[in-house]
Structure 1
Amino acid sequence: MPSLRSRFPMELGSVRDPEAQLGRLHRLALAGGPGWGLTRLLRRVVQVDGENSAGQTGLFLSALLGHSSAVQLLLTFGANPNHRCLDGSTPVHAGAFSGRSLVMLHLLQAGGDLRLHDQQGRTPWDWAEQGGAKQSWEVLELLELCRAHMSALVHDGELVVSASLGQLQAGCRHSLCGSLSLPWRECADRAPRRERIRRPPRISALGFGQLSCLRPLGLVTGIPLADPKELLPAQGEPDRTYESSSHTLMAK
Structure 2
Amino acid sequence: MKRKWVLLKILMCLVFLGFLLIFSQKQFEKREIKNIIAKIDYADGNYFITEKVVKEILGETHRDFPKMAMKSVEINRMEENLKKNPFIKNAEVFLENNGFLHTNIQQEKPIARVNTGKEQFYITQEGKRIPLSQHYSTQVMLVDGPVDSADFALISELVQKINEDNLLKNLIVGTHKNSRNSFILLPADGGYVLDLGNLENVDRKLDNFKVFYREFLAVSDSIPYKRFNLNFINQIVAQK
**TM-score, normalisation: structure 2:** 0.21
- Between structures 1 and 2, the one with greater helix share: 1
The structure with the largest alpha-carbon Rg is: 2
- Between structures 1 and 2, the one with greater strand share: 2
